[in-house]
Chains A and B, each alone.
Chain A
């Protein structure tokens, strides 16, 4: 099927060389997306794709680790796990709801005592805690035999031919997704609407243990602790400092009441986006969406994160004038059984900011395989095995990252890491004062354009829409692309000067564990 691209694309493709940015502005996603908003605030985005009789379905909530406070870190992700435990009608044998609730109450009462004991200052009564947990696990064993039907939501999607079933949690967004045969769409809408409002958190404490095991898996992966500490050091104030999985102390002790209070705030139709891409008819689809989601009450918008990172860039932006915080250097030095690395992280604004298109392009040209930094550090001097640069597309305060992997020859570094660090800085300074090779910028724009074009095909667009609508607004996918294509060499030097400064940088050095 041929996509209904704007007419301008034909022109664009007909020109002999790659188009100037102006021509590219005629390509657009806007005409392909059908947007509806239910009275309760649920936003619905639909895209028709008829290559296969399938629909990619995503329900995205604007909630993630940034919304957490100390003590409940990891709760967004843990809650996402709990959304698979069922509802009032799913996950239990028919006719056992009251019995099931009674089990939940009894288990909660025991585990509330555990929480109280664990919260006590001084030495805890470990024998008492073990005894209570033992009683709770024995009750759960009985509950499983009597009422629980494990994984009924997941199994329903599998039986319907669902693929790519899963959910994921990040710092900013939690999403639930599956690709279904087109005629199973109604099952999806019914189940997702049901668990938006009626989840039942049975098996809460065993699932909490599962999440702890999930964190341990990461802990056993070389370099995990370094990256976690580097990120937590980079953000002193902003909750981006929280690892998505949570700190271990919080994972193992978060309570069910805390989760219920948390979901009340963020699991609302007003805070969610439903994206459907595939072989669908928008009007018929909307009738079904209204049937299942229409009865859910609006709860008003969910709160946004207020805290901004107090970086030098923050003070320049908000106060202006001559005030400048004193110079502070933050470095994280680690060792791990993995490739040695140098990482420079700089504070930058959120994705909607006017400087972001230029920062994005700066990342692309600075890290390019045909760029000056790569050609010198990797190719000519052979100090680094690879170099990279990129700007994040963050909902809140972001990061510009410049990094290198050390080259090792016969077990020895070809160049010490501090020399590589100096090398990275020399190319950062270079980016501030020497205009980019215009051909490199042109090549990079060609590639940005190709990626944009490829992104418009297929059902992968669903994920892009969910992400951009959650972080900002989906229409910005087109705008962001056009603004990136309009970036000039002067823009690159300007943002390099503004953001890639020593006082705005946190450095990470990872040495190989010998």
Chain B
């Protein structure tokens, strides 16, 4: 999951003073890049970032009041005018949507924005692994913490059959045909449609929300579709690694990691689904965000005539967020092997329970982590594990930004079996370095600049702008979150960063999980690999070249091998 962090403001423009230094001298083909034929003093002439000076570029985040309104039934709406094309795009925020809780296809700037479509062809994102890995986990959406333990999966099942099962007045096929004709798309939590067809689109959307038919055959088919991908989960390296990690951090029985199973999905009856819908799907549990070629006043009228009539459901969706124990699993080294496969890489996670996103320390922790492993290629774990020793495509660390319970701090990498122990030791070494306060003013200044300058892009599209602000209200977070973002990051000092590193990265609290071929990953590096000096240095510090040695060095323990059912 990409952290939506944020920062604030800016910098920008450039004066190109010394850009003359950036002269290009490529008149002739070179034999080699950086050819020796070029005199050194001349060869080194070329652009440097310090040649380009950016005077501040003013940017003020938009205000909620510019978007917010309320319908007569209490439904809060955020409306953003966007007159680029005659289009309407909306999403519904609700805690009970499950996997259907998608965000609209906004036109903001994303990492793969505009990526060309090459069906059937392998595409590689060149350096792709630079973003922290998500907690992974099941295919469903955000947890609601409202589902009964024996009916896990009910929120996903309900939301998907609301769309695929049709309504009491329109069959699913009729809805499909009509939406295709209108060239729009609709789900319980979104509508995307030409402005010309908006009234009909809103009617269909509201019909889906209020009068789903929940036919038995669709429920049956949807249950099967949810169960099929669960079957091979324990054979999948990535899935086993993230599932096991969640259980170590939050505990086997925690609602945070509890997943729907074949049994819980099969136990959900039509009556259960109907009752769930009646209980939670109503205007009292939702917020609507829309952008498009309209004026706010006119759109309010049209929404009043449709969504203004949406009634409240039986109950307020008030999730019971779990109380997370300070450490579910004891610190130490754990291993797990997927069933029936012999992977040629191990996945490594090293970490511990962290803080919530609105913790006063979050900005300091985030900036500390930027230098450590959260700043992609500008961070230490990436540079050392990936660049220096060529051990992995992905190497990073992330701070899980949960709102209502602590997230997990986790360093991550995935490397061939022979270098699993070496990579783990390198990561531990970086965590210990940071814990000991080894971070400079220069490191912090870089992290701050990057965070602050990346603030404006968070507000680069009408729907996204409105959604950012709506989410603050929906998630009951501080409404001035974006207004104060700049200041929160600016005021973090080196002392703060060192303090949070000391407080939150305690080496004796760390959980190490290696997922992969147990025998081959445990063995450690042999003498045919390059970088023997560095391997020796790490071995000397961490009990030798094997994972058993590492477990011993970390508090004298042994490896705990977990088994999958």
As a 0/1 sequence over residues 35 to 56 of chain B, the CB contacts with chain A under 8 angstroms (1 = contact) are 0101010011111110110110
Asked whether A160 is an interface residue with its Cβ less than 8 Å from the other chain, the reply is yes
Q: Assess the B54–A220 pair: CB atoms within 8 A.
A: no
Tell me, in angstroms, the Cα distance from A77 to B22 when the chains sit together.
Answer: 27
Q: Assess the A449–B183 pair: CB atoms within 8 A.
A: yes
Q: Assess the B393–A443 pair: CB atoms within 8 A.
A: no
Q: Assess the A190–B114 pair: CB atoms within 8 A.
A: no
The residue from A90, A456, A463, A466 contacting B85, defined by CB atoms under 8 A apart: A456
Asked whether B343 is an interface residue with its Cβ less than 8 Å from the other chain, the reply is yes
Query: Contacts A163-B454, A182-B12, A214-B393; is A1 near B57 (CB within 8 Å)?
Result: no
Asked whether B532 is an interface residue with its Cβ less than 8 Å from the other chain, the reply is yes
Query: Contacts A1-B83, A98-B40; is A161 near B454 (CB within 8 Å)?
Result: yes
CB distance from A124 to the nearest CB of B (A): 12
Tell me, in angstroms, the Cα distance from A89 to B13 when the chains sit together.
Answer: 22
- Within A382-418, the residues touching B (CB, 8 Å) are 382, 385, 390-394, 399, 401, 407-409, 411
Other A-B pairs, 19, CB within 8 Å; known A53-B456, A98-B40, A210-B392: A52-B456, A101-B40, A133-B529, A137-B532, A158-B378, A163-B109, A168-B115, A170-B122, A171-B121, A183-B54, A190-B47, A199-B33, A214-B393, A216-B416, A244-B121, A244-B122, A385-B225, A393-B117, A408-B224
B residues with a Cβ closer than 8 A to A are: 10-14, 16, 19, 22-34, 36, 38, 40, 43-49, 51-52, 54-55, 57, 59, 82-87, 105, 107-130, 173, 176-177, 180-184, 194-196, 221, 224-225, 227-229, 231-232, 235-238, 340-341, 343-345, 375-378, 383, 386-394, 414-416, 446, 449-450, 452-457, 459-462, 527-534
Asked whether A292 is an interface residue with its Cβ less than 8 Å from the other chain, the reply is yes
Query: Contacts A221-B238, A260-B33, A337-B341; is A446 near B40 (CB within 8 Å)?
Result: no
Q: Assess the A161–B12 pair: CB atoms within 8 A.
A: yes
Tell me, in angstroms, the Cα distance from A166 to B2 when the chains sit together.
Answer: 15
Which residues from chain A contact B119 at a C-beta distance below 8 Å?
A: 390-393, 399, 401
Tell me, in angstroms, the Cα distance from A164 to B438 when the chains sit together.
Answer: 29
Tell me, in angstroms, the Cα distance from A376 to B254 when the chains sit together.
Answer: 43
Query: Contacts A54-B460, A56-B109, A88-B46; is A382 near B221 (CB within 8 Å)?
Result: yes
Q: Which 9 A-B pairs have the closest CB atoms?
A: A463-B114, A183-B13, A161-B453, A89-B46, A209-B390, A467-B116, A458-B107, A206-B390, A137-B530
Q: Assess the B416–A339 pair: CB atoms within 8 A.
A: no
CB distance from B290 to the nearest CB of A (A): 16
Q: Assess the B29–A299 pair: CB atoms within 8 A.
A: yes
Tell me, in angstroms, the Cα distance from A399 to B121 when the chains sit together.
Answer: 9
Q: Assess the A168–B126 pair: CB atoms within 8 A.
A: yes
Closest to B87 in A: A454
Query: Contacts A54-B460, A166-B126; is A141 near B534 (CB within 8 Å)?
Result: yes
Tell me, in angstroms, the Cα distance from A391 to B118 when the chains sit together.
Answer: 10
Tell me, in angstroms, the Cα distance from A154 to B14 when the chains sit together.
Answer: 18
The residue from A54, A97, A144 contacting B456, defined by CB atoms under 8 A apart: A54
Decide if the interface of chain B is mainly helix, strand, loop or mixed. loop
Asked whether A34 is an interface residue with its Cβ less than 8 Å from the other chain, the reply is no
CB distance from B267 to the nearest CB of A (A): 15
Which residues from chain A contact B415 at a C-beta distance below 8 Å?
A: 213
Q: Assess the A87–B46 pair: CB atoms within 8 A.
A: yes
Interface range on chain A (Cβ under 8 Å from partner):
35 or more
Which residues from chain A contact B462 at a C-beta distance below 8 Å?
A: 51
Closest to A163 in B: B457
Tell me, in angstroms, the Cα distance from A13 to B28 when the chains sit together.
Answer: 55
Tell me, in angstroms, the Cα distance from A3 to B181 when the chains sit together.
Answer: 25
Tell me, in angstroms, the Cα distance from A93 to B228 when the chains sit together.
Answer: 55
Closest to B126 in A: A167
Query: Contacts A219-B344, A221-B238, A295-B25; is A159 near B113 (CB within 8 Å)?
Result: no
Q: Assess the A160–B453 pair: CB atoms within 8 A.
A: yes
As a 0/1 sequence over residues 421 to 453 of chain A, the CB contacts with chain B under 8 angstroms (1 = contact) are 000000000000000000100111011011001
Q: Assess the B13–A166 pair: CB atoms within 8 A.
A: no
Q: Assess the B345–A216 pair: CB atoms within 8 A.
A: yes
Q: Assess the A295–B23 pair: CB atoms within 8 A.
A: yes
Which residues from chain B contact A169 at a C-beta distance below 8 Å?
A: 124, 126
Most B C-beta atoms less than 10 A away, residue of A105, A179, A190 = A190
Tell me, in angstroms, the Cα distance from A94 to B44 when the chains sit together.
Answer: 8
The residue from B19, B123, B235 contacting A190, defined by CB atoms under 8 A apart: B19
Q: Assess the B393–A210 pair: CB atoms within 8 A.
A: yes
Query: Contacts A95-B44, A187-B49; is A159 near B449 (CB within 8 Å)?
Result: yes
Which residues from chain A contact B394 at a C-beta distance below 8 Å?
A: 217
Which residues from chain A contact B29 at a C-beta distance below 8 Å?
A: 264, 299
CB distance from A508 to the nearest CB of B (A): 11
Query: Contacts A392-B120, A464-B114; is A295 near B26 (CB within 8 Å)?
Result: yes
Asked whether A357 is an interface residue with its Cβ less than 8 Å from the other chain, the reply is no
Query: Contacts A167-B127, A368-B180; is A161 near B456 (CB within 8 Å)?
Result: yes
Q: Assess the A170–B118 pair: CB atoms within 8 A.
A: yes
Tell me, in angstroms, the Cα distance from A345 to B113 when the chains sit together.
Answer: 28
Tell me, in angstroms, the Cα distance from A105 to B456 when the chains sit together.
Answer: 44
Q: Assess the A370–B54 pair: CB atoms within 8 A.
A: no
Asked whether A126 is an interface residue with its Cβ less than 8 Å from the other chain, the reply is yes
Query: Contacts A51-B460, A213-B393; is A409 near B47 (CB within 8 Å)?
Result: no
- Within A195-254, the residues touching B (CB, 8 Å) are 197-201, 203, 205-214, 216-217, 219-222, 227-228, 231, 240, 243-245
As a 0/1 sequence over residues 1 to 31 of chain A, the CB contacts with chain B under 8 angstroms (1 = contact) are 1110100000001000010000000000000
Q: Assess the A206–B387 pair: CB atoms within 8 A.
A: yes
Which residues from chain A contact B378 at a C-beta distance below 8 Å?
A: 151, 154-155, 158
Query: Contacts A144-B388, A161-B453, A170-B124; is A200 near B47 (CB within 8 Å)?
Result: no
Tell me, in angstroms, the Cα distance from A446 to B344 when the chains sit together.
Answer: 48
CB distance from A108 to the nearest CB of B (A): 9
CB distance from B191 to the nearest CB of A (A): 13
Tell me, in angstroms, the Cα distance from A5 to B87 when the chains sit together.
Answer: 14
Which residues from chain A contact B390 at a C-beta distance below 8 Å?
A: 205-210, 213
Asked whether A495 is an interface residue with its Cβ less than 8 Å from the other chain, the reply is no
Which residues from chain A contact B232 at a C-beta distance below 8 Å?
A: 222, 337-338, 512-513
Query: Contacts A155-B377, A213-B415, A296-B24; is A444 near B180 (CB within 8 Å)?
Result: yes
Q: Assess the B87–A457 pair: CB atoms within 8 A.
A: yes
Q: Assess the B117–A209 pair: CB atoms within 8 A.
A: no
- Could you list 21 examples of A-B contacts with CB < 8 Å? A3-B85, A52-B460, A81-B127, A88-B44, A100-B34, A141-B533, A161-B457, A163-B109, A164-B457, A167-B127, A170-B122, A170-B123, A187-B52, A191-B47, A203-B387, A206-B389, A210-B386, A210-B390, A385-B225, A399-B119, A446-B183
Which residues from chain B contact A166 at a C-beta distance below 8 Å?
A: 111, 125-128, 130
Asked whether A150 is an interface residue with its Cβ less than 8 Å from the other chain, the reply is yes
Asked whether A460 is an interface residue with its Cβ less than 8 Å from the other chain, the reply is yes
CB distance from B445 to the nearest CB of A (A): 10
Closest to A224 in B: B122
Tell me, in angstroms, the Cα distance from A154 to B455 when the chains sit together.
Answer: 18
Tell me, in angstroms, the Cα distance from A210 to B215 when the chains sit together.
Answer: 51
Tell me, in angstroms, the Cα distance from A462 to B449 when the chains sit together.
Answer: 27
Tell me, in angstroms, the Cα distance from A456 to B180 when the chains sit together.
Answer: 20
Query: Contacts A81-B127, A161-B10; is A186 near B85 (CB within 8 Å)?
Result: no
Which residues from chain A contact B533 at a C-beta distance below 8 Å?
A: 137-138, 141
Query: Contacts A181-B456, A459-B113; is A243 near B84 (CB within 8 Å)?
Result: no
The residue from A53, A151, A375, A458 contacting B387, defined by CB atoms under 8 A apart: A151
